[in-house]
């Protein structure tokens, strides 16, 4: 587990760099539900203008953050030099950075250059595997065996398409791919990169998890899996397993626990 993740008790959401934060009710609901289940504090949203350097002002919270999520992020010079340094330091010391752009806006590649994986600037189209009339509403059915993909058969990306993910980091793992009929063909749409003691997770678009598209195919389950894994680095099925009678059991000692318990009363482990 990277960077003593269980000692981190915050989930920070960056909303201070001109994010497209419309239609994000379901994102907020899922993040809050997972945090509650994992014993992590209510998600902390950093709001403000880019020139206020909100991340710098809240830098004392980064060592406590299990996840720093930047969704709907736009490119350009929105992050200051000091914020670039803080993000790099946060990941290097064991944090999890989750970045999702919002096509057709320019992706926030400036904050990713240290990590060896960036978004391409040309959206993916697929004439054979898409939804409705739009060939950029691609449908993805090709997934790795990573825990975030447990129970996932297909996801649908939303309007304005998905950016491919390009990388030169040998410690980057591809998590999902577009089809062989897409242009460009079979390119990564989700990746996990190891950097120092931490990890960087990239997904080619925010909109598939926003309110208009999250109920499509397995989108909601995928996002729930993603947030669960980022908060714990545990397989989603391990977070409070139930036995055949429906009892909720501690994954460490197997003793029955109750909904809402943060620690097992028998072995004392954090659940």
DSSP tally for the chain: helices H, then strands E: 4, 16
Is 154 or 107 the better-scoring residue by pLDDT?
A: 154
Tens-digit pLDDT profile for residues 116-155: 999 998 999 999 999 988 999 999 999 999 999 999 999 9
pLDDT band, very low/low/confident/very high, at 242 (cuts 50, 70, 90): very low
15: DSSP letter = E
How many structural domains is the chain composed of? 2
In this prediction, residue 252 carries a pLDDT of: 47
Percent of the chain residues past pLDDT 70, beyond the cut: 77
How many whole angstroms separate alpha carbon 152 and alpha carbon 161?
Answer: 20
Is 79 or 231 the better-scoring residue by pLDDT?
A: 231
Note whether 152 and 263 are same-domain residues.
no
Note whether 265 and 216 are same-domain residues.
no
Which stretch of DSSP H or E encloses residue 35?
Answer: helix 25-38
Is 7 or 229 the better-scoring residue by pLDDT?
A: 229
In this prediction, residue 240 carries a pLDDT of: 46
DSSP per-residue codes, 171-218: TEEEEEE--TTEESSS-EEEEEEEETTEEEEEES-SGGGSTTTTTSTT
Altogether, the residues listed in the chain come to a count of: 271
Q: By the 8 A CB rule, do 169 and 68 touch?
A: no
In this prediction, residue 179 carries a pLDDT of: 97
165 forms bridges with which residues in the sheet?
Answer: 119
Note whether 19 and 72 are same-domain residues.
yes
How many whole angstroms separate alpha carbon 34 and alpha carbon 16?
Answer: 23
Note whether 193 and 143 are same-domain residues.
yes
Is 3 or 94 the better-scoring residue by pLDDT?
A: 94
Note whether 42 and 86 are same-domain residues.
yes
How many whole angstroms separate alpha carbon 222 and alpha carbon 175?
Answer: 12
Note whether 153 and 175 are same-domain residues.
yes
Range of the domain at 39: 2-238
Q: What is the CATH number of the domain that holds 23?
A: 3.40.50.880
Q: By the 8 A CB rule, do 31 and 43 touch?
A: yes
Give the count of beta carbons closer than 10 Å to the beta carbon of residue 269: 12
Note whether 150 and 181 are same-domain residues.
yes
Tens-digit pLDDT profile for residues 46-55: 776 767 777 8
Note whether 8 and 52 are same-domain residues.
yes
Note whether 101 and 211 are same-domain residues.
yes
Note whether 10 and 64 are same-domain residues.
yes
Note whether 45 and 175 are same-domain residues.
yes
Tens-digit pLDDT profile for residues 246-255: 456 555 445 5
Note whether 259 and 130 are same-domain residues.
no
In this prediction, residue 241 carries a pLDDT of: 42
């Amino acid at each position: 587990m990277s960077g003593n993740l269980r000692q981190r008790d915050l989930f920070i959401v960056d909303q201070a760099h001109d994010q497209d934060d419309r239609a994000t009710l379901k994102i907020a609901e899922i993040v809050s539900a997972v945090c509650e289940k994992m014993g992590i504090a209510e998600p902390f949203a950093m709001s403000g203008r880019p020139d206020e350097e909100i991340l710098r002002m809240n830098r004392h919270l980064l060592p406590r953050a299990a996840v720093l999520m930047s969704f709907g992020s736009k490119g350009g010079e929105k992050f200051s030099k000091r914020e670039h340094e803080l993000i790099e330091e946060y990941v290097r010391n064991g944090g999890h950075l989750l970045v999702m752009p919002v096509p057709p806006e320019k992706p926030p590649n400036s904050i990713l250059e240290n990590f060896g994986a960036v978004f391409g600037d040309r959206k993916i189209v697929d004439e054979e595997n898409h939804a409705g009339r739009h060939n950029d509403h691609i449908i993805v059915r090709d997934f790795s065996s990573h825990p975030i993909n447990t129970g996932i058969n297909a996801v649908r990306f939303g309007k304005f398409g998905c950016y491919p993910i390009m990388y030169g980091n040998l410690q980057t793992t591809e998590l999902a791919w577009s089809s062989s009929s897409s242009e460009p063909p079979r390119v990564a749409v989700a990746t996990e990169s190891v950097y120092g003691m931490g990890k960087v997770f990239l997904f080619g678009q925010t909109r598939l998890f926003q309110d208009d598209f999250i109920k499509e195919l397995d989108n909601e389950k995928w996002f729930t899996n993603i947030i669960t894994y980022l908060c714990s680095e545990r397989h989603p099925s391990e977070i409070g397993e139930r036995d055949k009678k429906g009892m909720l059991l501690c994954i460490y000692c197997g003793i029955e626990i109750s909904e809402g318990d943060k620690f097992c009363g028998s072995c004392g482990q954090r659940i």
